[in-house]
Structure 1
Amino acid sequence: MSTTEKRRNAPIHHERQMRIICVGAGASGLLFAYKLQRSFNNFSLVVYEKNPALSGTWFENRYPGCACDVPSHNYTWSFEPKLDWSGVYATSQEIYTYFNDFAAKYALGQYCKTEHEVCGARWDESRAKWDVQIKDLRAGTIVEDSCDILINAGGILNAWRWPAIPGLKDYTGTLLHTANWDESVELTGKHVGLIGNGSSGIQVLPAIQPIVSKLTTFIREPTWIAPPTGQGQHIFSDEERHDFATKPNVLTQMRKDTETGMNSVFSVFLKDTQMQHDLRNSMTATMREKIHDAELEAKLIPQWGVGCRRLTPGVNYLETLHAENVKVVYGEINKITPNGCLCDDGNEYPVDVLICATGFDTSFKPRFPIYGFGGKNLQDEWAQEPKSYLGLAAAGMPNYLIFLGPNCPIGNGPVLSAIETQADHMLAMIDRWQTENIHSFSPKAEAIEDFCQYTDEFMKRTIWNEECRSWYKNNSATARISALWPGSTLHYIEALQEPRLQDWEVRYSGNRFAFLGNGYSQTELDPTADLGYYIREQDDGQFSSKSKKRQVLTKSGSKKSGGVAVWGQENVVAADAAPAPRL
């Protein structure tokens, strides 16, 4: 029986069985599994994870000092607080425990296959399915699977890379990478070299300084180092944690206040704003106070704006640069020798252990070949410049959705909130597929081109567009800004509230109105339902306009009206917010 015939014999919006494959059981993959399980029936899901355990980034990264630079109580899902974080900034082990506990609480492990790495996917147009190849890392064999919907939750900060420095393979000491840490290596009493002053390097240095005999840190460029939220590290007391667990609203209010703070600073990323000016002055003064060395100040304090690269709290980093056993070598490493690093100052610096805190491949190119319409491989399509639809889909890739794709708000504000928004948007599209006779859906190429054109114009007015080397620009100083959303995280949440079906190429199996079925509603076939549910004493239904829906959702009118930041043609200015109606 054809899809159309099946639907003619079923009520409207009959939910067909669907098979979904998700790549990656990190934060995004686990959230997707949770939300799918919570809201859908008639599905099968498998989440393939290359690691031997869940939680992705937070399972992989375990170097000394590894932590998150987002306040811990806000590095959680909006609906799933954690009562017992140790401090404002949590360690990687605590964060790993959070996501692992989340998976256990909702039995998400039933969907996950660890030590299974997806190595290829090809779209079959005739069957409207993805054929997926997976390597069973334990058995060393290739497993074949297929699905209706393919979700890529592999993330962007997981394909670690060695630095492109000649001679790396000639080094005879112990070589480590922060994202592939060997916990069996003993650093105590060793002379350690550290390459890099990004987030990982900034965390590693103060963590290992007390135990090594000498630490030589190699820095080639400046960076802003200070708490981006204005919060320093604070260890929560037993009393505070008790209050979080027992006193109504104490923790929720703190989370709201912190989130409000993070959502109130978007103008810092816009050129020539008062907030950018004030923060730059403040951070310059703070860094100078902690560095206390005119020569180092000139090298470490950037000339470009705050936020051009990702801000990093850097707890105790600048202070540790003054330790007696720490030497700062500023400039390029010309070559790795068997003994250490030969730098552009002409000196060779021998070290016993060389730690590379040199980051990841952030090109957005998929880690495995994905062949969509016409046999085109997304790896090839995105080899030079990745272009996505709203950070969650790609042209020519039917029934394929991406977490944290190109030009999503990965550095614009609270990232987990953005991931939740992406999951909800994906599931809205999946719901349409399941309840209609859709063959496939993929974003239109012209929609993506319009989105990218808008994004590129917007970025000219941001601090991200300044000439600083950043993974926002694929580790370049001048390339297209491919990682960030053209707006704030709240802007992204509003933009993705409802799918824009006009931007999608939707193909149907048979008559597109076959979903109307046999003339019966789902309600009539539910013996427990109220068949007169729409009869009421007053109009308490949902509002029709976006503005009224937003005002209800965001509790507009619940706070005192005040000045808000709005973007004019040439600058950001302060303006009085219009009074919001009370709803």
Structure 2
Amino acid sequence: MAATPAPYEVSDQWMGQPRPVRVVVVGAGIGGIAAVRLFHEVFQAKPAELIIYEKNNDVGGTWLENRYPGCSCDIPAHGYTYSWEGNSGWSKPYVGAEEIFDYYKGRAQAYGVFDHLHLRHRVTSATWADGDGRWKLDILNLADGSTIHDECDVLINAGGFLNNWKWPAIDGIENFRGHKVHSAKWDDDCSFEGKTVGVIGSGSSAIQIVPLIQKEVKSLVSFDRSPTWITPEFAAEFVPEGKSAVFSAEQRKRWADNPHEFLAYRKAIESSANKFFNLQFKNSNAQKELTEQFTTSMKKRLGREDLASLLVPTFAVGCRRMTPGHGYLEALAASNVTVRGDPIAHITRNGIQMADGTHLALDVIICATGFDTSYRPSFSLVGKNGRDLREYWADEPRSYLSVAFVLHDVPVHIALLTIIVATGPNFPLANGSLLACLEQTLRYAFAATRKIQTHNLKSLSPTRGAVDEFQEHKDALMEELVWTSHCRSWYKNGKVDGKVWGPWCGSALHFIELLGQPRWEDFDIEYRSGNRFQYLGKGQTEREKCGDDLAWYLKQPGV
């Protein structure tokens, strides 16, 4: 005979009384730092704990790791701060990596990040334990090689979308006996003076490196497999002096002393960035005008038809990431530089063998070849059905609005959902204000955390139908946008054609407003008890239990 189920019991609490939750954030870059600031804002005086694990020996993420020559932001620095506060003290509009790192480390100190932080700790696995309704984590302590175990109700991956650098997939790269360096793992001890140097890559890093070392080397070979649109500086209307502009001490003081004026300046820069999406439609008049403008500009700067035919793209502006290239085209046209756009066969002990039989002897090879852009997390992530997300995303990453996902037919039940901050497929990384979108994913994560905490939820995950329909919508709109133009791009995981995994299918504002009102109807929800209304408790609210204003809803005109 089946056992009689226990009778339902009313919970002895007020409606929505929060239960303790433990949140783990992976990564202490710009996203992890912002997470602490927003966590304190949302969970002030609430029973919630925050832990951050960071693999590096300091905060800062990208701006700690990337220190190659010329590394800097390519948008005005005033558009590269959090929404809640600007930085009136930037030394110049396009600041270098070290100044950016110093700024964000200062923000980490101000927000109390180090109170939550474990440095040199790499998360290696996260497994959903359905019985407990928690993530079980394995973390490698890089200082002593030991493994520690942790668990959490909410897991947020703030590891960044350009985090896991890789050598190019070229045969023989391990055989080279000269000096070999990757742009994301720079060696400051390497000297280029009087040497023959090869730079593999034509993306943002190479475009910043080449002009800095071209005058120093004996000769340079630039391996440009794919052309890139080289543009004027972003938001150049605010910096008429160009890349070399600096802010005077008087200007910085004026901004510091006049917050309304400073905010207006920040808003103007931000608004300029957020107008950008209209240019992303392949057949728009704006796209045609930009193509003509940039083609003319690049040809004029190169001054050589042989280089123009190789380096000026024929695909839509923006299909690959547009990059301001201060001095880049001029460096490629210099007498000591050779540009090769033909295929590399393999790397030898002392240089590079081209497919046409040419051998190029080199002292140094710089690999400005980017990162793993498959969007698979750097750690094992196993859901309720026992399947690793990295396996499921081996061919294509499929997300819900870039912030959540399911594994095959069984949802990943994540006592939240795993928010992949700035690394989720189709995050707005080329659609306008990146930092504002990053902040919004964190607000979305903490809104879901509050729902879990106050509504007695065990797990919350998007339905398979919601994921499939978002993918359908995204893929259909992408056909009208520049990213499906015929170009090789990391937005498509290095492919010429195929589905776009990179930018969002809309503007930055489109993304921000969408996530501002979570669609909980798109989620499968599992409760910690058999009755979804148990969180209603014994019929009272927090206001009543804590003696707050019990007539807050009354209003009087003029009062």
Among 8, 29, 33, which residue is 1:30 paired with? 33
- The answer to whether structure 1 residue 336 and structure 2 residue 324 are counterparts is no
Deviation at 1:354, TM superposition (A): 0.8
Among 451, 454, 457, which residue is 1:432 paired with? 451
Among 118, 132, 137, which residue is 1:132 paired with? 137
The one-character-per-residue Cα deviations of 1:9-62 (angstroms, maximum 9, x if unpaired) are 221111111111111111111111210122202111111111111111111111
The one-character-per-residue Cα deviations of 1:220-250 (angstroms, maximum 9, x if unpaired) are 2211011363414232223322222223423
SS at 1:295's partner residue? helix
Query: Matches of 2:260 and 2:328 in 1, distance apart?
Result: 35
The one-character-per-residue Cα deviations of 1:353-375 (angstroms, maximum 9, x if unpaired) are 11000000100111111110111
The one-character-per-residue Cα deviations of 1:72-107 (angstroms, maximum 9, x if unpaired) are 100111112111212221211111112111100111
What residue is the counterpart of 2:539 in the other structure?
Answer: 519
Query: Matches of 2:251 and 2:10 in 1, distance apart?
Result: 56
Q: Check conservation: 1:7, 1:14, Cα contact below 8 A.
A: no
Give the letter for the 1:109 counterpart: F
What residue is the counterpart of 1:214 in the other structure?
Answer: 219
- The answer to whether structure 1 residue 178 and structure 2 residue 197 are counterparts is no
- The answer to whether structure 1 residue 259 and structure 2 residue 270 are counterparts is yes
- The answer to whether structure 1 residue 403 and structure 2 residue 421 are counterparts is yes
What residue is the counterpart of 2:203 in the other structure?
Answer: 198
Give the letter for the 1:332 counterpart: P
SS at 1:375's partner residue? coil
Query: Matches of 2:430 and 2:10 in 1, distance apart?
Result: 44
What residue is the counterpart of 2:24 in the other structure?
Answer: 21
Deviation at 1:491, TM superposition (A): 0.8
Deviation at 1:345, TM superposition (A): 4.1
Unaligned runs of 5+ in 1: 541-583
What residue is the counterpart of 1:145 in the other structure?
Answer: 150
Query: Matches of 2:52 and 2:8 in 1, distance apart?
Result: 32
What residue is the counterpart of 1:226 in the other structure?
Answer: 231
**TM-score of the pair, normalised by structure 2:** 0.93
Give the letter for the 1:62 counterpart: R
Deviation at 1:325, TM superposition (A): 2.9
The one-character-per-residue Cα deviations of 1:287-335 (angstroms, maximum 9, x if unpaired) are 1111110110111110001000111111111122233332322322211
Give runs of aligned pairs for residues 428-467 of structure 1, distance below 5 A.
Answer: 428-467=447-486
Query: Matches of 1:13 and 1:539 in 2, distance apart?
Result: 33
Query: Matches of 1:243 and 1:353 in 2, distance apart?
Result: 47
What residue is the counterpart of 2:432 in the other structure?
Answer: 413
Q: Check conservation: 2:38, 2:442, Cα contact below 8 A.
A: yes
Query: Matches of 1:236 and 1:353 in 2, distance apart?
Result: 37
Query: Matches of 1:200 and 1:24 in 2, distance apart?
Result: 22
Unaligned runs of 5+ in 2: 1-6, 237-241
Q: Check conservation: 1:259, 1:414, Cα contact below 8 A.
A: yes
The one-character-per-residue Cα deviations of 1:164-196 (angstroms, maximum 9, x if unpaired) are 111111111010000111222223333221111
RMSD, aligned CA: 1.7
What residue is the counterpart of 2:383 in the other structure?
Answer: 372
What residue is the counterpart of 1:505 in the other structure?
Answer: 524
Query: Matches of 1:539 and 1:288 in 2, distance apart?
Result: 65
SS at 2:400's partner residue? coil
Query: Matches of 1:171 and 1:55 in 2, distance apart?
Result: 32
Among 4, 8, 12, which residue is 1:9 paired with? 12
Q: Check conservation: 2:36, 2:111, Cα contact below 8 A.
A: no
Deviation at 1:6, TM superposition (A): 10
Query: Matches of 1:38 and 1:376 in 2, distance apart?
Result: 35
Query: Matches of 1:293 and 1:6 in 2, distance apart?
Result: 82
Greater CA drift, 495-504 or 393-402: 393-402
SS at 1:121's partner residue? strand
Q: Check conservation: 1:229, 1:261, Cα contact below 8 A.
A: no
Q: Check conservation: 1:221, 1:331, Cα contact below 8 A.
A: no
What residue is the counterpart of 1:564 in the other structure?
Answer: none
- From the superposition, tell whether residues 377 and 68 of structure 1 become closer, same or farther in structure 2 (CA, over 3 Å): same
Deviation at 1:210, TM superposition (A): 3.0
SS at 1:342's partner residue? strand
- From the superposition, tell whether residues 325 and 137 of structure 1 become closer, same or farther in structure 2 (CA, over 3 Å): same
Query: Matches of 1:210 and 1:297 in 2, distance apart?
Result: 21
Query: Matches of 2:49 and 2:220 in 1, distance apart?
Result: 52
What residue is the counterpart of 1:326 in the other structure?
Answer: 337
Among 36, 59, 79, which residue is 1:54 paired with? 59
Among 469, 476, 480, which residue is 2:488 paired with? 469
Give the letter for the 2:427 counterpart: C
Q: Check conservation: 1:228, 1:311, Cα contact below 8 A.
A: no
- The answer to whether structure 1 residue 286 and structure 2 residue 291 are counterparts is no
What residue is the counterpart of 2:78 in the other structure?
Answer: 73
Give the letter for the 1:333 counterpart: I
SS at 1:327's partner residue? strand
What residue is the counterpart of 2:509 in the other structure?
Answer: 490
Runs ≥4 in structure 1, deviation > 6 angstroms?
4-7
Query: Matches of 1:290 and 1:240 in 2, distance apart?
Result: 33
Deviation at 1:344, TM superposition (A): 3.2
Among 78, 91, 97, which residue is 2:96 paired with? 91
What residue is the counterpart of 1:557 in the other structure?
Answer: none
SS at 1:331's partner residue? coil
Q: Check conservation: 2:282, 2:485, Cα contact below 8 A.
A: no
Query: Matches of 1:201 and 1:53 in 2, distance apart?
Result: 26
Query: Matches of 1:63 and 1:262 in 2, distance apart?
Result: 26
Q: Check conservation: 1:439, 1:509, Cα contact below 8 A.
A: yes
Q: Check conservation: 2:195, 2:363, Cα contact below 8 A.
A: yes
**TM-score of the pair, normalised by structure 1:** 0.89
Query: Matches of 1:342 and 1:218 in 2, distance apart?
Result: 12
Query: Matches of 1:240 and 1:402 in 2, distance apart?
Result: 38
Q: Check conservation: 2:235, 2:273, Cα contact below 8 A.
A: no
Deviation at 1:258, TM superposition (A): 1.2
Query: Matches of 2:235 and 2:283 in 1, distance apart?
Result: 21
- From the superposition, tell whether residues 147 and 7 of structure 1 become closer, same or farther in structure 2 (CA, over 3 Å): farther
Q: Check conservation: 2:404, 2:461, Cα contact below 8 A.
A: yes
Seq. identity, %: 39
Give the letter for the 1:148 counterpart: D
Q: Check conservation: 2:276, 2:431, Cα contact below 8 A.
A: no
Query: Matches of 1:360 and 1:469 in 2, distance apart?
Result: 15
Query: Matches of 2:17 and 2:116 in 1, distance apart?
Result: 24
Query: Matches of 2:554 and 2:307 in 1, distance apart?
Result: 73
- The answer to whether structure 1 residue 355 and structure 2 residue 384 are counterparts is no
SS at 1:32's partner residue? helix
What residue is the counterpart of 2:500 in the other structure?
Answer: 481
Query: Matches of 1:505 and 1:93 in 2, distance apart?
Result: 45
- The answer to whether structure 1 residue 383 and structure 2 residue 394 are counterparts is yes
SS at 1:328's partner residue? strand
- From the superposition, tell whether residues 100 and 16 of structure 1 become closer, same or farther in structure 2 (CA, over 3 Å): same
Query: Matches of 1:230 and 1:250 in 2, distance apart?
Result: 18
